[in-house]
Amino acid sequence: MNNSVYKMLTEGWPKVNKQASNPQLVRALFSAYGGRDSELTLLNQYLYQAMVLREQNNMFLSELFDAAANDQMQHIRHLGRLICRYGGEPRFISYIGGRGISWSSGNIYYEKNADRMLEKSILCERQVLRHYKSILNSNILDNEPKQLIERIIKDNEHHINLFNTALNS
């Protein structure tokens, strides 16, 4: 496994205790958790990419996407717990115009070209970062959940750096 990914995976996670119910925050978290451009989409996209690249004998990128998928799974677990701690149910949905939209595998970018996989993964990571930064800028977070979101942001920024490095090598 790529050493920089392994180091990232070993960083600790901030603890978030039970919070007062906050439906506004729960709805905001759903976009990053299970929306079209979300951690769930990234997880499934990276699993797909890792399998395709393994079949192409591109083990370096396959392992990179496997490691990134493991991170996305951690993000989903932590976000799901955060949603629960704010009184929500960790469903894979997002809200657009007040209407709940279920997650779909149609959100995944099915591509077999390694460079296009990396380019699309960078774009998707940036979109998820926008969701998080919007949540941080909304001032609806206490310190504990803010630290968790910042920790997830750190991982996603690291993924972008790794994907850019792979794309440019």
Q: What is the pLDDT of residues 73-100, one digit of tens each?
A: 999 999 999 999 999 999 999 988 889 8
Domain 21-167 is found in CATH 1.20.1260.10: yes
Q: Give the Cα separation of 122 and 115 in Å (integer).
A: 11
Interacting residues of 132 by C-beta distance below 8 A, sequence separation 6+? 32, 149, 152, 153, 156
Give residue 95's pLDDT. Answer: 87
Q: What is the pLDDT of residue 120?
A: 97
Per-residue model confidence (pLDDT) at position 4: 52
Residues of the chain with pLDDT under 50: none
Nearest to 15, CA basis, from 73, 76, 78: 78
> What is the pLDDT, as a whole number, of residue 10?
65
Strands (E) in the chain, as ranges, are 93-96, 99-102
For residue 43, which of 11, 58, 13, 65 has the smallest C-alpha distance?
65
Instruction: Give the percent of the chain with pLDDT over 70.
Output: 94
The Cα–Cα gap between 96 and 132 comes to 16
Between CA 40 and CA 33 the distance in angstroms is 6
Q: Are 31 and 131 in contact (CB under 8 A)?
A: yes
Contacts of 103 (CB under 8 A, 6+ apart): 34, 35, 36, 38, 40, 41, 92, 93, 94
* Domain residue spans of the chain: 21-167
Please give the pLDDT value at position 97. 86
Q: 62: Cβ–Cβ under 8 A, 6 or more apart, which residues?
A: 49, 50, 51, 53, 54
Query: Longest C-alpha distance within the chain, in Å?
Result: 49
